[in-house]
Amino acid sequence: MSGTGANPILNQAVTFIQNAIPGFEAGTYRLSVSQTLTDAPTTADPNPPAINTQPIALTYDFAVTGDRFAFAQPDSSVFAVFPPDNGSGGWDNVFPHAVFPLATLPWTRSPAQDEVEPDAKGDVPTWLWVMLLDDGDAATTGVALDPVPGTIGDLFHTSVNPASTLDANAASYFEGGDASDLEPGQAFDTPIQYVDMPLALFQQLAPSIDDLRLMAHVRQVSFLDKPTIAAVTDVGQPAGSFSIVFGNRLPADGANTHCYLVSLEGLSAFLPATDGTLPPANGVASLRLAVLRAWRFRSVGQPASFVNTVMALNTGTSDGTHNRTTLTLPYAGGNAGVQSGFAMGYVPLDTVMRTGEQTLGWYRGPLAPYANAAAPPSLPLGSADAGLIFDPVTGMFDGSYAAAWTIGRLLALQDQSFSTKLYLWKRGLQQGLLASVSATILAQRLAAFATPALPDHVTARLAVDSPTASFANASHIVLHALAGRE
């Protein structure tokens, strides 16, 4: 389904796409071309020898670059992660995932050593995996939860890179390889992050190749009626495509969960089979994984509502007597009015009036844990000043409504779809007003000189048409008469 401007429901539609396979996977390639010249066959010699004993051959090497062990542009390569970093909520039934603005990213590499063909349904495995660990994993296995800063050289054994920190009984991406496996733009000293996973824990959590076929997809969404996002929704396109990579483990309830977007490129030998069978360890005790993005969150078992959050601040007793939960600033002065304002959650702020005067005014947020008997200003407001409320007790203005009006106005104007429609509406009003004024002036001018001494045939036409003719028709007849056309 694709969104259209005529139907607001379609503007919210999301199209799910199985995958977006790139023309070439990231890596290095060699193109070889050769040519052999021979004489044309004849009756006497149907199989003539080659003219050139050595074929004419050319070889071209080229590379398809792509992110591998770290993002070249970390700030723009990942559009969003969910659950959000350092968030807290009811996410124990959500598979964490990452969203990328590059639709082909999950399929630019392969988890297998050789190219993996699509299955019967057209699914292709992704090389990226959202791995989850929590405090319980650290307590039982001793795995370090924080990614370690290092270099690509740390993914090699010391036999290839003497400065590597990779243990002799550990494995990584370059088993049996050397520096020639690096791609253009990569070097031993290129910075990355990594985690060392005990092989038993990794194989307990890791997906199979068939699982990876189902753990990434593409979503196409409409940009119409969406807030403006730099380099995403402001690119002049009506829709955009994003790739999504999922994890395969649900967060534990009440635990601190750590998420790692890791590369599984070429690690199929360590992944479990589809039936759960584990490959032999062959003396490997741990596996070093490159971390392209890491974040953490906490699942609290159920969505935390605003009431839950406020009540969590309440330190009252269980018999129904509660302490006041209003968040306030301390006030040590003796002014009862000012002290009352602080107690209700207000703060004094420097205020610049619309006419230029500088004064001190009250402000508080839109939420208050008490009944507010004060009536809000009548809507619509012509300006922010119309939302000011004068407090006769302290002699200060309350700018809370004025600030809310200003914030709402800025948010609305920031949305291009709304601001464009508002501009067109205002322009239409202005054009309609000008047309109405012009019509009124024209009617007055015509009424002043068109009645006397009109030609008989014009008067006759006006008499015939006037019961049903509009003002525009009558004006048209008179103007033509004045121009000598009737």
pLDDT per residue as tens digits for the range 422-437: 889 999 999 999 988 8
pLDDT band for position 76 (cuts 50, 70, 90): confident
Q: For 338, what's the count of Cα atoms within 13 Å in the CB-facing half-sphere? A: 13
pLDDT of residue 171: 94
Instruction: Read off the pLDDT of residues 190-227 as tens digits, 9 standing for 90 and up.
Output: 999 999 999 999 999 999 999 999 999 999 888 766 66
**Has residue 129 got a pLDDT over 90?**
yes
**Has residue 83 got a pLDDT over 90?**
yes
Range scoring the smallest mean pLDDT among 99-108, 244-253, 337-346, 471-480: 471-480
Give dist(CA 351, CA 355) in Å, integer.
11
**Has residue 313 got a pLDDT over 90?**
no
DSSP E strands: which ranges in 212-333?
216-222, 239-246, 256-263, 286-299
Instruction: Read off the pLDDT of residues 237-267 as tens digits, 9 standing for 90 and up.
Output: 667 889 999 999 999 888 899 999 999 999 9
**Has residue 3 got a pLDDT over 50?**
no
Question: Do 90 and 300 touch, CB atoms closer than 8 A?
Answer: yes
Give dist(CA 259, CA 96) in Å, integer.
8
Give dist(CA 100, CA 20) in Å, integer.
12
pLDDT of residue 318: 42
Max avg pLDDT among 160-164, 393-397, 461-465: 160-164
Q: Where are the alpha helices (DSSP H) in 326-453?
A: 336-343, 400-414, 416-449
**Has residue 40 got a pLDDT over 80?**
no
Question: Do 245 and 268 touch, CB atoms closer than 8 A?
Answer: no
**Mean per-residue pLDDT, 4-33:** 76
Range scoring the smallest mean pLDDT among 157-166, 284-293, 327-336, 469-478: 469-478
pLDDT of residue 4: 43
Count of residues in the chain: 486
Per the confidence metrics, is the pTM higher than 0.85? no
Give dist(CA 405, CA 383) in Å, integer.
8
**Has residue 475 got a pLDDT over 70?**
no
Q: How many CB atoms lie within 10 A of CB 411?
A: 11
pLDDT of residue 468: 46
Q: How many CB atoms lie within 10 A of CB 118?
A: 13
Percent of the chain having pLDDT more than 90?
A: 36
**Mean per-residue pLDDT, 453-476:** 56
**Mean per-residue pLDDT, 88-108:** 91
Which residue in 357, 365, 366, 403 sits closest to 384, CA to CA? Answer: 403
pLDDT of residue 470: 46
**Mean per-residue pLDDT, 461-483:** 51
